[in-house]
Amino acid sequence: MDDRAVFRYRGDDVRAGWADRLDVEVVALQAWAEFRMLVRGVDTASRTVTLSAKCAPSNREKDARYWIENAPDALDAPGEFFLDRDTGVLSYIPRPGENMTEVEVVAPVLAELVRFEGDPAASNSVAHIRLRGIEFAYTDWTLPENGYVDMQAAYDIPGVVRGNGAAYISIEGCAFRHHGNYALEFARGCRNIRIAGCEIADMGAGGVKIGEPSVCADERDKTRDNTVSDCRIHHIGEVYPAACGVIIFQSSDNTIAHNHIHDTYYTGISNGWTWGYGPTNTGRNIIEYNHVHDIGRGMLSDMGGNYNLGVQPGTVIRNNLFHDIISHGYGGWGIYTDEGSSNILIENNVVYRTKSGGFHQHYGRMNTVRNNVFAYSVIGQVIRTRMEPHLSFTFERNIVYWTEGPLLGSNWKDDRYLMDGNLYWNPKVPADSVRFASWTFAEWQARGQDVHSVIADPLFADPERGDFTLRPGSPAFQLGFRPIDLRTVGPSRKR
């Protein structure tokens, strides 16, 4: 039975002859991922297209957005090109001011530049190698015969520099620009990898991949004790929009610190790869002092500045600055503990200007959210989705500041969470009108929540301009809130 994807196109977006060319691509966005498939059949009467493969089973988007690539009759704007593979002729419309007798044209061939290949099972590692001050630029990407369907985060797109069975590898002060895939990938059995002071920009996929999707039983195969620090990762996802700035799969004891990640179409820093409470190799990861902003940019949904999955004892997310996180539909969250995220400490972060919530827990257990600032979300400030028969999280000594949308979003019907010692303030609403889900403040406190919390102006220095410094006399101090120092957030040339 033919189970290839079929979709109905709009107007005259698709031409009947494209199916004969075999290389015209449809790129469609579906919630948190995309597919890139080839046109295999066109029915102009019903305006339907048969594509080259199945869609992903887990994500759908009503009235999904799509565009066409590599069609000759779509070549109609400056900066566009078309390669006719039958004749080998490349057609290009110059941008204004471009002189084609002087312009430099780069046609990359390789998709991979460096590989560290050890044998973890034999305890044989490629070790003690340093790459320093090298610029890696211009690699290609290859579309499989039947196209590409992403599950999440472009997880299976490889790195330009990649390793298995590597140890004590240092990549310092390098630049990765204009690549078709991820920049760096250290998968099975990689330890003590240090990536520091690098710039990663204009990427087809994302920045750095650590670990691999499968759970390893053999200690020699486990990836751990790696560091990504002081890097600038920006303008990624140009071919695979769902790619992340940094993604940790099944890997533990890693540090992601002092990075500047911005202008992505999906998540900035992703951590964990187990949905629910099943087996995992992820834990004790430290995500700290990162500046992550302009995430999502209205293209994909269900993502965040920081995204987490699975049980992660010892993982800490602290002293980060997350802001301007805008999804297409639902799910533009600042800090997002998704399916099964558990035993994570989230503290001393500043999160503002998000679409769907500063903090969202889909489901998980025993997370601690304390001493954070969550401000200026649009749809809701603090979001909780699933009820479960255990403590979801503790939410204490946080400041929540908002001017639109509800304070608490989604599901608060049970009492399997603990909130106390927080400060809440909406300057546009009288204090006695603030609602906690369906309850007044007094009713909420009678339920045992926020017994020692207050509704009061925190006295931020200039919140509209992103300055959440507390002025003297702030009532937050009386609740035990500790000032959050953001002066060392992001990269520093001194480290």
Q: Per the domain annotation, does 438 fall within a domain?
A: no
Q: Per the domain annotation, does 44 fall within a domain?
A: yes
CA–CA separation, 264 and 457 (whole Å): 34
CA–CA separation, 82 and 99 (whole Å): 19
CA-wise closest residue to 24 among 74, 79, 65: 74
- Structure confidence by residue, pLDDT tens digits, 441-490: 999 999 999 999 999 999 999 999 999 999 999 999 999 999 999 999 99
CA–CA separation, 114 and 382 (whole Å): 44
How large is the average pLDDT for residues 280-286?
A: 98
How large is the average pLDDT for residues 9-25?
A: 91
**Weakest mean pLDDT among 141-145, 154-158, 419-423:** 141-145
Q: How many domains does the chain divide into?
A: 1
Q: 275 pLDDT band (50/70/90 cuts)?
A: very high
CA atoms within 13 A on the CB side of 131: 21
Residues 6+ apart with CB under 8 A from 302: 31, 32, 327, 330, 331
How large is the average pLDDT for residues 74-100?
A: 92
- Looking at this protein, which amino acid is placed at residue 248? I
Per cent of the chain over pLDDT 70 is 99
Q: Per the domain annotation, does 355 fall within a domain?
A: no
Q: Per the domain annotation, does 343 fall within a domain?
A: no
How large is the average pLDDT for residues 425-448?
A: 97
**Weakest mean pLDDT among 11-15, 167-171, 374-378, 433-437:** 11-15
Q: Per the domain annotation, does 375 fall within a domain?
A: no
Provide the residue range defining the domain that includes 45. 6-74
Residues 6+ apart with CB under 8 A from 330: 301, 302, 356
- Structure confidence by residue, pLDDT tens digits, 288-303: 999 999 999 999 999 9
Q: Per the domain annotation, does 16 fall within a domain?
A: yes
Average predicted confidence (pLDDT) for the chain: 96
Residue 336 has pLDDT above 50, yes or no: yes
Across 12-26, 43-57, 166-180, which has the greatest mean pLDDT? 166-180
How many Å is the maximal CA-CA distance in the chain? 76
Q: 1 pLDDT band (50/70/90 cuts)?
A: very low
**Phi then psi dihedrals of residue 279, to 5 deg:** -60, 145
How large is the average pLDDT for residues 151-170?
A: 98
CA–CA separation, 378 and 372 (whole Å): 18
Sign of CA dihedral 325, 331, 334, 340: negative
CA–CA separation, 445 and 451 (whole Å): 5
Q: Per the domain annotation, does 99 fall within a domain?
A: no
Q: Per the domain annotation, does 85 fall within a domain?
A: no
CA–CA separation, 123 and 353 (whole Å): 47
- Structure confidence by residue, pLDDT tens digits, 124-136: 999 999 999 999 9
Residue 494 has pLDDT above 60, yes or no: no
Which H or E run includes 441? helix 441-446
Q: 492 pLDDT band (50/70/90 cuts)?
A: confident
Q: 185 pLDDT band (50/70/90 cuts)?
A: very high
Torsion-angle region of 282 (φ positive above 0: left; ψ -120 to 50: alpha; else: beta): beta
